[in-house]
Structure 1
Amino acid sequence: MKLQHYLGGLEGLPEDLSLEKRVFVEDWEKRIFGIHVAMMGLSNHLGAALPTYPIDEVPTAFKDEWTWADLRTGAEAMNPFDYFKFRYYEKWLGGITQFFLDKGYVTEEELAAKVAELAPPTAEPVEAIDEQVIAYLRKGDSPRRDVAHPKYPVGSTVRITNVAADAHSRLPGYLRGRTGTVERVFEGDYAYFTHTGDGIGDPMPIYVVEFDPAEVWGPRAEAGPETLYAELFEAYLAPIKEDS
């Protein structure tokens, strides 16, 4: 279980968490956001996304898949204590940089030389690439693949699984092994843009599950009529086995 997936009720972190509310603290962070958006707009997963794009016809050297899932995987591969130390877009920078290194778009030597130069880019943008990125910003993509085919109807009591966290997980650590009630079933089956190794990736239903805080945090839960809701992929739910 990665530490950054398990923050519910966790105490004793090495440093206070930053509560910075500005979206961009420094100007370079805007450029990192733009690079990420451009990568998503040129990602080869768009050939299967809804709405579809003629991505194979776009004259770009970027021929890999890049989604929010890849960004999160890269950031969460960091040492947990480094993860908490760096600001939001510093994590993005690390994840994107490592992706380009791993995929061979740039070497560490080339990157170091470029940093030493600190020269602005001289190449003119390719119009077709710009058009595709703008189309992506306007239309987006969708992980929805079908109508919902849920195993658990509204009102079902379910137990949250305790699958091992792999490269990335969408399951909060504090919900593992807890019992809740299905409050809502989303209207479609939804894919996750990468297979995380803990059960999600292929299209499946997503549920809103309701939890009693006392079930999650025990006697340390705050008193009062509070309810916790979590959106969870079906792979993270298991039925309650009745005693025979």
Structure 2
Amino acid sequence: MKLQHNLGGLENLGPVNVETNVFVQPWEKRIFGIHTVMMAESTHLADALPRYPIAGLPTTFKNTWTWASLRTGAEGMQPFEYFKYRYYEKWLMGISQFFIDEGYVSADELDEKTRHFRANPQAALPDQPNPAIATQINAYLVKGDSGFHEFKEAPRFATGARVRVADPDAVDHTRLPGYLRNKEGTVDLVYPGAFSYFVSTGPDGIGHAMPVYRVAFDAADIWGKEKSEPNTTIYADLFDAYLLASD
């Protein structure tokens, strides 16, 4: 991942925020809700498990939106801008830009609405209840989605195999922690089935269904003995595309 999104092992970055509340401000709940509704209406659910009746859903939202979409928006921020904003402010920026890019709202329209509600914070929000969409959202909250598939081929690696983490070209979004690139570890578990990611990361290598492994790393092999507690193991779940046979 890009620097601002995976800081494992880096020093002198200042104090760590140890806030334990999921939502610190009331408005953050609304941002989480918007993201959840977008996922519940996402076109990818037509092929996810369980299957959802997306084609007949009475909504104007006709795009794929997953956790990957949300993370891509945040990861596209300029690094110094990224550190300036709160967690859910980054969500809001990514979601807003997505709606602008896809033509659901223009930047001028969004600015006008922003000015309106800042000047009139008690103004009523649009209310267009739709029972079918409410049913879909409730079903999604209960059942979720999954990219699970049955194996078509045996996994390349078995438990106990020594592997080396690949170093693919950097792309807009990845599920490979930067601090694990080129590190060696041992396959600790082969998860049953294969898993897709709903969106392709292109040269990064994930998208179609593939095995996922839990790989164990000696902390000292990642950060060095002088910066690691003894007898410490780091575990990471990694897609098959991110692993190579150890030399």
TM-score of the superposed pair, with normalisation by structure 2: 0.92
Of 139, 158, 168, 2:163 maps to 158
Unaligned runs of 5+ in 1: none
**CA distance 1:114–1:223, change in 2 (3 Å):** closer
Q: What SS does the corresponding residue of 2:72 show, helix, strand or coil?
A: helix
Which residue is equivalent to 1:96?
95
Please provide the CA RMSD for this pair: 1.5
- Indicate whether 1:233 and 2:232 are aligned: no
Q: What SS does the corresponding residue of 1:100 show, helix, strand or coil?
A: helix
Which residue is equivalent to 1:201?
207
Which residue is equivalent to 1:28?
27
Which residue is equivalent to 1:149?
154
Which residue is equivalent to 1:8?
8
Which residue is equivalent to 1:191?
196
Q: Percent identity?
A: 54
Q: Structure 1: which 4+ aligned runs deviate by more than 3 Å?
A: none
TM-score of the superposed pair, with normalisation by structure 1: 0.94
Of 212, 221, 228, 2:227 maps to 221
Quick one: distance in 2 between partners of 1:40 and 1:154? Answer: 34
Q: What SS does the corresponding residue of 1:4 show, helix, strand or coil?
A: helix
* 1:174 Cα deviation after fit: 0.8
1:43-192, aligned counterparts within 5 Å?
Answer: 43-118=42-117, 119-147=123-151, 149-192=154-197
* 1:151 Cα deviation after fit: 0.4
- Between the two proteins, the alignment pairs up a number of residues equal to 240
* 1:12 Cα deviation after fit: 3.0
Quick one: distance in 1 between partners of 2:227 and 2:218? Answer: 9
AA at the equivalent of 1:224: P
Unaligned runs of 5+ in 2: 118-122
* 1:6 Cα deviation after fit: 3.9
